[in-house]
Structure 1
Amino acid sequence: MTAIPEEVLGLRVEVVRSIRRTAALHIVGSDLQVRIPEHLEDERVAAILKQKRPWIRGKVAELKRVPPHRSKELVSGESFPYLGRHYRLKVQEGHQVGVYLSGGYLKATIRPSEHGEQREARIQQYLQSWYRTSALERLQEKTNRYAQQIGVSPTGLSVRNFRSRWGSCDKRGQVVFNWNIIKAPHSIVDYVVIHELCHLIHPNHSKDFWQLVGRHDTNYNEHRQWLRTHSKDLITQT
């Protein structure tokens, strides 16, 4: 029995099984995402990866030409995205800790006693907590609006920190979004919401599915391409 390799040409392999008819490969960040039909055998997946090795090699070469990502220092003046706009971080000391958006700034309040690595880790913790809370609130608003428009009724919504996908839904109607999507422009967030809600009607990527998506987002192809280009930036911003 041939097993699916964990890594191909330095890219971590992530297999995503769903109700779909065909297999597709996508580079998401430094991961190779293999989207396949639910019951496709491991041997067939391994064969597809072998067959597509020249394409993967070309994508790896492209990744190497991209300048390395610089980690945030989490200091005042740094820029952070939210719904397509960038806000400057303003670090201040106080006892009512956390992050909030005010006056065009992302204000991070930390305790005066925290310094060095502890200070940096705390700011990152507060930023991620703010992003997750904001994402849940705004995604719920958008999901309610588009669910009514599409004619579906999701049974629940939550956010997670996926490594290489923007959302998912299951047969029970539970919708999950990657909270990092809240950093993208409104039109991109809308596309992701519409995409997942349309899966409640068509749990695949068939022609009917894409026609339904296009009915509610006429520029969905442009939005898909934007995500492919900027996915790594969104996930590594904090």
Structure 2
Amino acid sequence: MKVEFESKTINFNVQYGNREKLSIHIDSFGFITVKAPKSTSKEAIMSAIESNVTWILEKIHEIEVAREITKVRGFHVEGKFLHLGKECFLHELIDTSEFDEATLKKNLKRFYINSCKKTVGERIKIYQQQLKVKPKVIEIVESKTKWGSCSSDRKLTFNYRLAMAPIEVIDYVVIHELCHLLHMNHDRSFWRRVGSIMPDYKEKEAYLARHGHSMSF
């Protein structure tokens, strides 16, 4: 959902559940989630967002400023990089002693590739059992346009940058591609199968759409 305010668009997701009160949450990437009781109307949700719009915009601005500072630091000692949805200091991910920037970038990319291979492999083992499918080949690749793909010969590929995403988002991409082993097209049967394993898959899609650009270095 979204609301317009002073030429700015505020995008947010809604989670309905067994709760008494509506609340608004903003994560470290500026991703907005409204948690609301099951019976809450769309009008009530929009009203809550509009009532808190000043706080929301201020919070998002703070996050954007913080992320810009992080970008400036880059490959410095205090530089931070995403791993499984969390910001980590570079030295927590790779050895940073006595390397130039080019070497650090090369080593960090290798770290992400290995991390993605390990994590995706572990998650595939879980979900292929639930879906009763098995890919023929699994590859970790570099891509600027796709998070994952499935070919007609049962080959699955995953973008190494997924290692920067939270584990539940990685799970979504894994489930998505495994479901293509059952339904090659994005028809209703495909999305029903995805939803049967991950009912809130649209939130994960929204996360990638909103934060995909920041999952890089």
Aligned AA (1:187): E
TM-score normalized with structure 2 length: 0.65
Take 1:157 and 1:148, find their aligned partners in 2: how far apart are those partners?
16
Take 1:184 and 1:71, find their aligned partners in 2: how far apart are those partners?
21
Q: Aligned to 2:93, what secondary structure does the other structure show?
A: strand
Runs of 4+ in 1 over 6 A off after TM superposition: 66-69
TM-score normalized with structure 1 length: 0.60
Counterpart of 2:111? 130
Flag the structure with higher helix content. Answer: 2
Q: Following TM superposition, by how much is the alpha carbon of 1:170 offset from its aligned partner in structure 2, in angstroms?
A: 0.8
1:95-110 matches, cutoff 5 A: 105-110=92-97
1:109-124 matches, cutoff 5 A: 109-110=96-97, 112=98, 119-124=100-105
**TM-align CA RMSD:** 1.9
Counterpart of 1:150? 131
Flag the structure with higher strand content. Answer: 1
Contact map agreement 2:112 2:160 (CA 8 A) in 1: yes
Question: Where do 5+ consecutive residues of structure 1 fail to align?
Answer: 1-65, 91-104
Counterpart of 1:28? none
- Equivalent pairs counted in the alignment come to 151
Contact map agreement 1:108 1:127 (CA 8 A) in 2: no
Q: Following TM superposition, by how much is the alpha carbon of 1:220 offset from its aligned partner in structure 2, in angstroms?
A: 0.4
Take 1:72 and 1:193, find their aligned partners in 2: how far apart are those partners?
32
Counterpart of 2:192? 211
Take 2:203 and 2:74, find their aligned partners in 1: how far apart are those partners?
33
Give the share of equivalent positions with the same residue, in percent. 31
Take 1:158 and 1:121, find their aligned partners in 2: how far apart are those partners?
25
Name the structure, 1 or 2, with higher relative contact order (CA <8 Å, separation 6+).
1
**Distance of aligned partners of 1:72 and 1:205 in 2 relative to their CA distance in 1, 3 Å threshold:** farther
Q: Following TM superposition, by how much is the alpha carbon of 1:72 offset from its aligned partner in structure 2, in angstroms?
A: 5.6
